[in-house]
Structure 1
Amino acid sequence: MIWIVLIVSLPGLLYMGVQIRKGYKLVYEGSHPKRSQATPSIPQEAVQRRFSFVSRDGLQLAAIEYRPIPPVKGTVIACHYLGGSKTSIYPYLEPLLRHGYRVVAFDYPNHGESQNRKRNRYTLEDDMRRFLLRLQELQIPGPYATMGFSMGATIAISALDHLPEIRAVIVDSGPLLFVRDYFHYLIQNKKIKNRIAQASFLFLYLYVAGFLSMSQRMRKRLAGLRGIPILFIQSRRDRIIPYKNAELAYALCQSENAQFLVVDKAHHLTNRVVLGETYDLTVLRFLDKWMNNNEKTSHS
């Protein structure tokens, strides 16, 4: 009797296995995007230095320092978007460099020149912690600010946990707080129609990769901020990380020094394209104000 049940059930079990594997494959592809290795042309008066550090599981992660000619006003720690790299975000960084700010950035695992990670587990907060330790080893001085784009917004904010000397934070198109909505959007965008594949996709991203706990930690961080200058830049038309994410982040943030720049006609990561010089001036004025401000603020 047991053998009959097994034989009858086998096609259904095989079908479920195929769909679960399909969900896993899509998650793996999402966390291992096509690599971006842009080669920016930096100003002649600036200097770049490439270095690396090691992740908790032994991966070599590539990093870079863009250094302007002295005097240097401070160091901006830049965090790229999903599918980007430490060099693909250079157009955002060049105005900072020309204005006297040193900029440092690293390639996430599976991105740019960093090594691949076989697992899909979210580790960027720990990667950021190790990157900050490497900056200290290299004696790259502050004062510090962070700037994060899309997925990078989350780790730009999480850096506050590890580097008390951070004086300002800028986030463009983030952070991601409504993670279920985001992955349902991906399901539609990728046209995943099978319910089993959808369930596999959601479970792997939310619970195995750890994005649900990541968003919960971020909500707690934002609610605990006290006085940290943080500039949110967000478009109302962003469909990938919608406006409500930044709106909630700003509402949760208990910092009296938080600002919110709303862009009406941009889409995801096109705020600078739409605003042009206004974008750069807003960022530079924000940095100039807070990087030279010695007033003490609290990260928790």
Structure 2
Amino acid sequence: MVGISLAVLIIYIIHNVIKGYQLVYEGSHPNRCHLINENNLPYRYRKFTFQSQDNLKMWAIEYIPDQKPKGTIIACHYLGGSKTSIYAYIEPLLKENYTVVSFDYINHGESESRRGNKYTLEDDMKRFFYKLKALDIKGPYGVMGFSMGATVAISALDITSEIAAVMVDSGPLIFVKEYFNHVLRSKKVKEPIRRIVFLFYYLYVIGFYKMSRRMKKRLLSMDDIPILMIHSKRDRTISYKNAEYVYQTLNANKSKLITVQRAHHMTNRTILRKEYDDYVIQFFERWLVNDDKAKNHYNSIK
């Protein structure tokens, strides 16, 4: 009887370890976002590829404005998104004659899939930026990022000193354990072994604790980089305290935190509408173009 009970226990543990790992795999390999047909876009574009560290093909796009570009905005999509899923956010910048570039993360959009769960987004961003330089896509450069993409956007500051400003929406991610506990709650995962495997794998094996420490260290050296954050008080996915932490760490003279009361995760633009686009445009006009009117507008933001 003892032998049977022990065998049942071992099977139970193995079963839940496997289920926990499956949760990790599903999280890092989300369903591919429906791609916009680029042929229907009202702007010219150029698609191109570059290679990840493990030689996977990654797809990217350059959206080209109608007139001479004022600069280039690097746009980093959210988890489960793609280089075209964020088009609504970037179209106002195209109207203001900014070039916008974006790439599909591994396991996203048109980029190839990885069998494992390795986190390489920061290195992928570095390789993407070098590809921009090789293609002679010129600055001045600004970066914008959405949700998890906000973390990727800020990481670009480690690559080059040519980035003049960063705008983030619903991010970046600092408090990583809180975030992954939220994921478990949203998936209604209560089984202890599955939870332990999920958290251990993401935080230690994939390395989100290390990513968080790098982000905190990075923020301490960002005094001279203007950053605009738009975040909702009701955000339960990446909580508002992530944005508060960033804002309190940065130079308040150059950084702004716009708090949205009625939005949830990644719905700030839906709530603010044109005001959202105005914030973003005036921010980049202020720090990339050095426009006097934009300076006054930016300084008036509370």
Q: TM-score w.r.t. structure 2 length?
A: 0.93
Structure 2 CA distance, aligned partners of 1:5 and 1:50?
A: 63
Q: Equivalent pairs: percent with the same residue? A: 54
Structure 2 CA distance, aligned partners of 1:71 and 1:8?
A: 73
RMSD (Å), alpha carbons: 1.5
Structure 2 CA distance, aligned partners of 1:150 and 1:249?
A: 14
253-262 or 220-229: which moved more?
Answer: 253-262
Question: 1:5: how far off?
Answer: 7.5
Q: Which amino acid aligns with 1:258?
A: S
Q: Residue 42 of structure 1 aligns with which residue? A: 41
Extract structure 1 runs of 4+ deviating beyond 3 A: 4-8
139-148 or 256-265: which moved more?
Answer: 256-265
Aligned residue pairs total 289
Question: 1:7: how far off?
Answer: 6.0
Question: 1:292: how far off?
Answer: 2.0
Task: For structure 1, list consecutive stretches of 5 or more residues without a partner in the other structure.
Answer: 295-300
Structure 2 CA distance, aligned partners of 1:277 and 1:53?
A: 35
1:240 to 237, 240, 261: 237
Q: Which amino acid aligns with 2:11?
A: L
- Per-residue Cα deviation, 1:29-71 (whole angstroms, up to 9, x for no partner): 011001013215422xx21000010000111000000011222
1:167 to 164, 167, 190: 164
1:126 to 123, 128, 132: 123
- Per-residue Cα deviation, 1:249-278 (whole angstroms, up to 9, x for no partner): 111224631111111111111100100000
Pairs within 5 Å for 1:109-188: 109-188=106-185
Q: Which amino acid aligns with 1:42?
A: L
- Residue pair 1:225, 1:255 contacting (<8 A) in 2 also: no
Structure 1 CA distance, aligned partners of 2:251 and 2:213?
A: 16
- Residue pair 1:55, 1:130 contacting (<8 A) in 2 also: yes
Q: Does 1:69 find its partner at 2:66?
A: yes
1:90 to 70, 73, 87: 87
- Residue pair 1:227, 1:256 contacting (<8 A) in 2 also: no
Structure 2 CA distance, aligned partners of 1:112 and 1:275?
A: 28
Question: 1:6: how far off?
Answer: 6.5
Question: 1:224: how far off?
Answer: 1.6
Structure 1 CA distance, aligned partners of 2:93 and 2:243?
A: 23
Q: Which amino acid aligns with 2:222?
A: L
Structure 2 CA distance, aligned partners of 1:118 and 1:288?
A: 42
Q: Residue 295 of structure 2 aligns with which residue? A: none
Q: Secondary structure at the match of 2:125?
A: helix
Q: Secondary structure at the match of 2:59?
A: strand
- Per-residue Cα deviation, 1:108-144 (whole angstroms, up to 9, x for no partner): 0000000001111211000000000100110100000
